Amino acid sequence: KVGDFTIKGLNDDTIVIAAHLCHPAMVNDGLSGVAVLVEIAQEFLKTTRKRNYTYKFMVLPETIGSIAYLSQNESIIPTLKYGLFLEMLGNDNIHALQRTRQGNTRLDRIARYVMQRNVADFREGPFRTIVVNDEMVFNGPGIDVPMISISRFPYPEYHTSDDNLNIITENKLSESKRVILNILDILDKDCVPKRKFKGPVFLSRYGLWVDWRTNKKLNEAIDQIMLLLEGDKSVFDISEEVQIEFDEVFDFLNKFYEKGLIDQYTPRA
């Protein structure tokens, strides 16, 4: 049986968050990922902000559950844009970020960005070099939805009867939840800005001038940011290029949007 819970967004482009149930009597390898997934779904339900993406939360028997579900729901495959697989999140180890099969999608880069800023340490590896689970189905032949995996693998109790509540801490589960929520927040807010203006913007007329005495870095980056509004880069791309935090660039460009100076589009996968 498959657990399938969907929260509709402003469009049908869908992000899958998946966890598996397949190891009886084991807590970390299975239930910890499910627990974090359920907590994230509950957080989404608490917020009133309408999200751009649709989110599909799935609890599946490992591998065969994904195969069975997708074989019976092939019509949804074209709407699936990204995926996150969650497991082994409660043990005392650093996070392990496994990249998508594609290796350098926006999701890969955003996940790395969030890890670098929110955890003391983490490790990273290519597709299927850290854990081997449902990403092979979702990100595999004929479907190929970019899917990262987030875990705390390895740990000594793996696949033994010692994988029980004694090795789980609420602190580790909460840390994983915060990291994943941050990844999803940036992924959802990211958009492609395209200018509607010609020539440099008269910043002070629109209340967009940034005082160099209070934010020198953003003040010096404004011209570069305006040159990057051709509709071929997302806000996250721009923030990487100008080396300013995503939220700061997002808030600044949102003022351009509110003044009617740019359009915003959902970025390609």
Using one digit for the tens of pLDDT, what is the confidence trace for 36-62? 999 999 999 998 888 999 999 999 999
What phi, psi does 18 have (nearest 5°)?
-125, 150
| pLDDT of 14 | 97
Element (H, E) at 18: strand 14-20
The answer to whether 208 touches 255, Cβ cutoff 8 Å, is yes
Amino acid at 264: Q
| pLDDT of 20 | 95
Q: Which two tokens stand for residue 234?
A: 């997302």
DSSP states of 117-155 = HHSS-EEEE-TTSS--STHHHHTSTTT---EEEEE----
Q: What is the largest CA-CA distance in the chain?
A: 67
| pLDDT of 66 | 97
CA atoms of 170 and 49, how far apart (whole Å): 27
Nearest to 194 by CA among 268, 137, 262, 138: 262
pTM: 0.95
**Alpha helix segments (H runs only) across 98-229:** 106-118, 135-138, 170-189, 216-227
Low-confidence ranges of the chain (pLDDT < 70): 268-269
| pLDDT of 203 | 96
| pLDDT of 269 | 62
